[in-house]
A and B are shown apart, each in its own frame.
Chain A
C-alpha cells in the first residue's frame, strides 16, 4: 500500500527562485493524481522531488510509511515515464526494460519472464530485440511504460508522457495508461499541461499556478466549482467567461447599471467582483421576457458545437451551443441561468 504524503514541502533554487511554495497533501493508494498547470508552475519540480531528482528544500515527504527526503531515487521503488521517453539508445528494448531489475540483483530468468509479460501486455513482444531508434514514437512510449511496469513500483510518475505523440495516439494512450494503472492498482502522479488529459484521467486534479496548488478536487469539482479565476479559466475549453461586475449586498449581481442578474443565494459582500460563466452553461432565448442582450461578432464551427464570440455588456463573451441550434442574427438574447454564475473576488480571484 503506497500512500504519498507531503508535509509543507517546499523548493527554493539556489538563485532564490521559489519553485514550489510549501504544500501539503496526501495521495491515497491506487489513486491517479494529475498535476496540471501552465509551464513554469512548478508541477514538474514537484514530481521530480517525489522522484528524488530534485532535492527537497524544506518539509517532509513520505512514500508508504517511509520518509524519503534523503533516499536515493533508485531506492524509492518508483518508476518514472519521461516526456521524451529517456530510453537508453544503445540497449535493446528488452535490456531497456530489464536494466533496473538487473541492478536490483534479480535472476536473469526472472527478469526475462517479467520483461516478456510486460511486452505482451503492451504489444511489444515482436520488438524486444530492437533498438529504440528502430521504433516509432508510440512504440517508444510503450517501451517507457514497460520499463516502468516491470519494476512493480509503489508509485508511477508520469512527466507529460503523451506530449510527443500525435493527437490520435494520445487519445488512445490516455485510455491505455488509465486502464493499466487501474489494473496494476498502483498509485500514480501524472504531470501534464493538457487540461483534457487532466479531466479524463484523474481521480483527483491538483491545479497548480506559480508554485502554488490552487485547487485540489475531482475533475467534476474542479470544473463545476473552480476555487479561483485561474482554475476557472485554465480548466475548460473554451475557458470560462470572466466579466467585471459588482454585488450590492443582496441577491443580485450587476453587470451594468441596467443589467442585474439574480443569484441563487444572498451575498453579503458589496463591491466589485468578477463574474464567471461557462460558455456551455449559457442558453439562447427564444423570445419571451427578460434575457441578456448579446452582440454577435464571429461564429466558430466545431462540428458538435458552435462557438459564438461577441460582446456582452461591452465585454468579450463566448457562448457554446449545440450544433442543431438555428442560424444567427447580429443581436441575440441569452439566458444566463442562476446556478451557472460564479462569483470571484475582483482582486485575489478567490471564489466568493
Chain B
C-alpha cells in the first residue's frame, strides 16, 4: 500500500470530518440511543421511562412469538439467499454463453434492479392478489388455492418470490462479471482436459467464481435480513396478524405499532450484534480464504 504523507496534520482530519460526522449522526448516535433505551420501559404516551435493567432482553428470550419470528427469519433468509444466488448463477452462466445479442439480454435482466423494494412489493401484491392476481390464477390451474395475507405459508411464499425476484439482477451482474473475468485460455485448457461441460463448471469455473459467490452470499444474507423491509411491509399491508414477518419488521411493529420502545430497542440491539458477527465473519473469511492471485 502506498503511504501518503501530509505536511499539515490537520488536512487529513479535515478531509475525514464530513464522513465521520455522517456516521456519528446517523449511526453511532441512534445506535447508542437504542442501547440505552433497551434498558428502560417507556411510557407509551412519552411521559417518561423506568429503568428495568435486562428485563427487555429476558422477556425476548422467553417470548415464544419472538422465537417463532426468529425461526421464520432464518428460513426466509436461507430461502431468499439460496434461490436468488442459484437463479442468478444459472442466468449468468447462460448469458455468458450467449454470443449474439448478449448486451440486450444483460440489460433486460438488470432492469429489475432499478425497481424500489416497496414498488416490487406492490407489484407482488397485484400479481398474488386473491381475486385478480395473475400468479394466483396460474396457481389455481395447478389446484393450489393461493391466499395472500390469509394463509401464513402462502404469504411467506409470495414474500420469498418477490424478494428473490428483486435480488436476482444484482447477483446476476456480479456473477456475470465474475464469469467474464475468468481467462478464456483457462476455459479452453479445461475444454481439452474434460469433455463434460458440467464437470468443467464444477471443477474449474465454479471454484474461480467462489470469491464472487462468497461476497454475494454475505450481501444476500444482509439483504434478506434487513433490506426486504419494504417488500414485507407492502405484502402484509402493515397487518401482521397471522402473517409471517422477519426480525427487522418485528422491531418496527413492536416499536411503532405496539409502542413498546424498550422491547423494540432490545430487539434492534440483538440485530446489531448479528450484523457485527456477520461483518466479522465476512472480513475474516474474505481476507483469508478464497484468494487465488
Contacts and interface: CB of A to CB of B under 8 A. Distances in A.
A80 B189 contact: yes
Contact of A86 (B183, B194, B199, B203): B183
B293 A100 contact: no
A52 B186 CA distance: 15
Given A131-B292, A133-B292, A133-B293, A72 B186 contact: no
Contacts of A53: 188, 191-192
A99 interface: yes
A100 B193 CA distance: 4
Interface residues of A, number: 24
Interface in B243-293: 292-293
B195 A89 contact: no
A90 B211 CA distance: 11
A22 interface: no
Nearest to B208: A90
Contacts of A87: 186, 189
A223 interface: no
Interface in A109-151: 131, 133, 147
B219 interface: no
Main secondary structure of the interface of B (DSSP, over half): helix
B195 A75 contact: yes
A74 B207 contact: no
A224 to B, nearest CB: 36
* Candidate in A83, A103, A133 with the most chain B CB atoms within 10 angstroms: A103
Interface string B5-35: 0000000000000000000000000000000
A36 interface: no
A114 to B, nearest CB: 14
B194 A103 contact: yes
A325 B118 CA distance: 88
A131 to B, nearest CB: 7
B160 to A, nearest CB: 32
Interface in B92-151: none
A31 to B, nearest CB: 21
Contacts, number: 65
Given A78-B192, A103-B195, A103-B199, A83 B208 contact: no
B72 to A, nearest CB: 37
A82 B185 contact: yes
B62 interface: no
A181 interface: no
A78 B186 CA distance: 16
B79 interface: no
Nearest to A83: B185
A173 to B, nearest CB: 18
Given A89-B208, A133-B293, A73 B199 contact: no
A86 B204 CA distance: 12
Contacts of A75: 195
A74 B195 contact: yes
B190 interface: yes
B196 interface: yes
Interface in A40-68: 51-53
A166 B188 CA distance: 25
Nearest to B100: A14
Interface in B178-223: 183, 185-186, 188-196, 199, 203-204, 207-208, 210
A79 interface: yes
A218 interface: no
A78 B188 CA distance: 13
Contacts of B195: 72-75, 103
Interface string A71-109: 011110011101110111110000000011001000000
B81 to A, nearest CB: 23
A136 to B, nearest CB: 15
Nearest to B194: A103
A79 B192 CA distance: 7
A88 B188 contact: no
Nearest to A79: B192
30 contacts: A53-B191, A53-B192, A73-B188, A73-B191, A74-B194, A74-B195, A75-B195, A79-B192, A83-B185, A86-B186, A86-B188, A86-B189, A87-B189, A88-B186, A88-B189, A88-B190, A88-B204, A89-B186, A89-B292, A89-B293, A99-B190, A99-B194, A99-B203, A100-B192, A103-B194, A103-B196, A131-B292, A133-B292, A133-B293, A147-B193
Interface of B: 183, 185-186, 188-196, 199, 203-204, 207-208, 210, 292-293
Given A73-B191, A103-B195, 16 more contacts: A51-B192, A53-B192, A73-B192, A73-B195, A74-B194, A74-B195, A75-B195, A84-B185, A86-B185, A88-B189, A89-B292, A89-B293, A90-B292, A99-B190, A103-B194, A147-B189
